Structure 1
Amino acid sequence: MIIRLADCPPQPWKNGLGSTREIAIHPDGAGNDDFLWRVSIAEVDSAAPFSSFPGIDRQIALLDGNGFTMTLDDDRMHALTTPFEPFAFAGEAKVAVTLVDGPTRDFNLMVRRTQARGEVQVWQGPDTRMPDPSTVLVYCARGVIDTTEGPLHAGDAWRPAPASPLRLHHNALALVIRIEPNAS
């Protein structure tokens, strides 16, 4: 299934201090308290703190803009200034943000840590790939990616069916989400 960013309306952050576009959530129709995993694109246009998500492992990657510096739990700093480079942190961490120079957009993966592990992989073109069974979403961050259901352009995402290859054109870049359940 192809998901177009234009079909994902902005909604307020959990803390109401910013906005995000939910790309996909599992299970379908879940909310903040019962999702297994969630992928979204956040608009960061002020130094507002991130929402708290206890029990959630998060990964974030800069998509557009000059980025920001994250201060985690008042003592650890991370500069999110390199596009498409995932950074992992705990959802319950207290996160303050200082913008580098203007607004940014970032890619977010959230996974309920007691139930699963998530990973954001970066694939670059030109290349042809076969997503493995743990791949739940392919996000086109740059360029064009051909799928069995049609092309993806920057901002589009795809929920691949099993054994569905994709082709990344020259200069294409995909953020690929893999989710694996925790061992019982």
Structure 2
Amino acid sequence: MRVVAFDKDRGLEAFIRAVGGKYLPLETGKPTGFNPLQLPDTPNNRKFIKNWLYNLLAYDNYGVNYRDEQELIAAIDIIFEHKPENRRLAVFVQSLPNPITDDDRPTVNRRLAKWHSGGEYAWVFDNEADSLDVNKYSVYGFDVTNFLELPELREVIIMYLTYRTQQKTFCFFFDEIGDLLRINIFKNYLKINLKN
């Protein structure tokens, strides 16, 4: 049986390590080793990347308008022309226009600045290599304590973890599920998957 545990306060760390599993204590400010842009080029992965990018932009109150969407789609096409090892957010934004405008709405390029190249949240997804290998171990533990109170982070991190692990057959375990149920992406994930 393959197991994924979403843990709080590192309560399952000793157990997961004892059974030979991989435990990732995700800590605010420390590189996660996540890089969604290095996923294989498939229609499902492209759809995920688009939704993931929308969620990176979700908490600045500007939303994603038609122009933003077209810029993101074009940049997704360009990033997938690169070799996987050259794909990361810092490279992705180079394909986004960044004109100086008179309106108050910042460009998508500027809005993504905090997620790459030393920005406030660059440690989350702008990693040189995606080190999350869901094929290597039969038990995974992710400690999500440090970002449960940070909506902008928790949504996109949980989105990535659930996407990567749902591609394989896993049994899921949730420590303190009440905290996770505050996460919209997680609630939607449960609604969809509990029907099956």
Normalised TM-score (structure 2): 0.28
> By percentage of residues, which structure has more helix?
2
- 1 or 2 for the larger relative contact order (CA 8 Å, sep ≥6)? 2
Larger radius of gyration between Structure 1 and Structure 2: 2
Normalised TM-score (structure 1): 0.29
